[in-house]
Structure 1
């Protein structure tokens, strides 16, 4: 049964360009489907989280991560009586704006774009779904509903202060009320992202040999999960033991969010999605105790994985790839494909040109960026 504070597709604020309703799908389901069919979503297959795409097929990519986030988000939304279609749409779209090479590529592109307004992957996701996807006859982007755009823009909370230029640009023509919280559905998508990456970064780090099962068994939540598996299944083969332990870690995080959020939603007194937006505080959250445990896990991953010598060496290489490509395209935009050259021919100034070059590089996959760097630099 859907809760009173859940987002109702029948009461959606609609799309920037008005369209006829579907006979078979709700507006939020259409949003989800358009995101899945977008070129940017397909390219996530070859954009990585921590490891670079060529390092192995068993590590998470942005695509598999987004699917995992959507699965977790739909589970939590169902337990809380929220709209699963909107939750899933926001979850699937939340990483569309990421550059090649994960946060390493984003850091490099942000530094390069500093004179032109910087780079922010959340704002870039809005730019993708409102402008850069160019497949439909009547509009650029995917013409998503206001609720889905709101969720993409501020699933991590209100956006205040100096706005990323890409977000400010769109907000001028379609006010997303950035000063308020997002719907409960978008908040679920944000915490589902935390749940998914905490769990799968442990798994990928173990698979890469950056740390051992014995080391992670010293961590909160994780140690108790390994102990339970050892009690229930003595002498279990190590791969199965690891999987059984980490799936329990997953379960602890999901259960905690559901229990805490039920209490927060009830305590909010909200009877509508608008009251959720103006509640003044998140209604989807971890407990204080679990949040403290997760900070300890993240500190471990930071030291043993994100800053591991092997990872840092690769980060330095791929940072060089982005640092080389950007000024070259800025100086010689004719090296970009025909579609981008046509767009460049219409730019009025250097800032607009830089933003087009940024769009082009941000849309690259790890593989394509490496191929282009090899082609252009040898």
Structure 2
């Protein structure tokens, strides 16, 4: 078991680190609102995300298995809830704001298309002449524009810190450490919003946002192993030789000889998550100490990610991902419906872009023949679809619809 830093608190204790995001010092919202007497700004953000239409639609969006009807396979919604649980498990002992970490975890996949990355690739290709498609940028577009629940503004009017973390949880977008060379290279939705509300795209994100990002990795690694076992595409015997899983399975076999496979699987997943969480807490504490981080401003100016795996765990986790890609994500069962799903999304885009009146009136009104505006509106409509709704729309518009089951 990883030795945790001395300052890490356990169980129900709470402590706020000096470098944590503090809701009392929030930079506010694009549209000012009175404070809530019962909830912090980050708690209100979390609640608004949970009550959004986009969050509910995650229930019927693909995680790994395209359009799978099995009760126990993960969807975007169950994955998102698991990411949020891991984020809170990391944030509390590190003295970070759990509510902000949770809000970011709950919102990180809102912009995903139907059929997972297959749908995203198809929509990006269809939008090649219209600035492309990026699911992270689409998440921002959803929470700042497409959700229409309040009388005074579009979107959810989330706090600056939540929007910043949503956009930058994978690192700065601009500046010397950014993923883009200039604002012209930013995804369309982020560039459009940045012109209204500066999210400081050249700085690092808060530790809470970095926690949400690595929580996504931990959830993917552990729960995709479980889904792969459930689907029969992976076996416990095979996992004996894999990084991370091999050592844990050996320990389980020593402690519980002859344990039935179902219980072995659950114990494996539980221990995988625990081992990774403890490694991240210890390694992040070391990085914070080495960098002399004493404030949130220090975090943003650090020029590198502070929340992460140790060198050994990072290497093992990367190798685990390689194994998952080879044996699960690229397996014939997972890959078979992918080109069909991509073709279905491409069909929908082509038809709606040519005939936008085929979309519901709320989506087709006031387009005035503007090709770019129509393309972005169609992208918003398709990206918001669940897997089953996309199939239903294809059946409505075309004589033949591929069988993705």
TM over 0.5: yes
Q: Which among 189, 209, 230 is matched to residue 253 of structure 2? A: 230
Q: CA deviation at 1:347?
A: 5.0
Count of residues in Structure 1 that have an aligned counterpart in Structure 2? 376
Q: CA deviation at 1:211?
A: 1.9
2:122 aligned partner:
108
User: Do 2:137 and 2:167's aligned partners in 1 also have CA atoms closer than 8 Å?
Assistant: yes
Q: Which among 366, 371, 378 is matched to residue 392 of structure 2? A: 371
TM-score (norm 2): 0.91
- Counterpart of 2:93 in 1: which secondary structure? helix
Q: CA deviation at 1:54?
A: 3.3
User: Do 1:47 and 1:61's aligned partners in 2 also have CA atoms closer than 8 Å?
Assistant: yes
Q: Which among 319, 331, 334 is matched to residue 296 of structure 1? A: 319
Q: Which among 278, 283, 287 is matched to residue 264 of structure 1? A: 287
Q: Which among 209, 212, 222 is matched to residue 189 of structure 1? A: 212
User: Do 1:225 and 1:246's aligned partners in 2 also have CA atoms closer than 8 Å?
Assistant: no
C-alpha RMSD of matched pairs (Å): 1.0
User: Do 2:17 and 2:96's aligned partners in 1 also have CA atoms closer than 8 Å?
Assistant: yes
Q: Which among 326, 329, 335 is matched to residue 306 of structure 1? A: 329
State the Cα deviation string for residues 110-141 of structure 1 (Å, max 9, x = none): 11111000000000000000000011000000
1:126 aligned partner:
140
2:41 aligned partner:
27
Q: CA deviation at 1:310?
A: 1.6
CA gap of 1:362–1:238, structure 2 versus 1, over 3 A, is: same
2:166 matched to 1:152?
yes
Q: Which moved more, 1:332-341 or 1:266-275?
A: 266-275
2:8 aligned partner:
none
User: Do 1:260 and 1:286's aligned partners in 2 also have CA atoms closer than 8 Å?
Assistant: yes
State the Cα deviation string for residues 154-176 of structure 1 (Å, max 9, x = none): 10001132100111000111010
Structure 2 CA distance, aligned partners of 1:347 and 1:33? 37
2:402 aligned partner:
none
Q: Which among 351, 357, 373 is matched to residue 372 of structure 2? A: 351
CA gap of 1:334–1:205, structure 2 versus 1, over 3 A, is: same
1:218 aligned partner:
241
Structure 1 CA distance, aligned partners of 2:255 and 2:147? 50
2:107 matched to 1:93?
yes
Q: CA deviation at 1:348?
A: 6.4
Q: CA deviation at 1:312?
A: 1.4
User: Do 2:367 and 2:373's aligned partners in 1 also have CA atoms closer than 8 Å?
Assistant: no
Q: Which moved more, 1:261-270 or 1:235-244?
A: 261-270
Structure 1 CA distance, aligned partners of 2:250 and 2:29? 51
Superposition pairs for residues 130-145 of structure 1, below 5 Å?
130-145=144-159
2:64 aligned partner:
50
User: Do 1:50 and 1:306's aligned partners in 2 also have CA atoms closer than 8 Å?
Assistant: yes
Structure 1 CA distance, aligned partners of 2:332 and 2:268? 27
Structure 2 CA distance, aligned partners of 1:313 and 1:169? 37
Q: CA deviation at 1:216?
A: 1.4
1:208 aligned partner:
231
Q: Which among 64, 71, 79 is matched to residue 65 of structure 1? A: 79
Q: CA deviation at 1:75?
A: 0.9
Structure 2 CA distance, aligned partners of 1:87 and 1:337? 36
List gaps (5 residues or longer) in structure 2: 1-14, 175-179, 400-405
User: Do 2:66 and 2:334's aligned partners in 1 also have CA atoms closer than 8 Å?
Assistant: no
2:267 matched to 1:244?
yes
Large movers: runs of 4+ above 4 Å? none
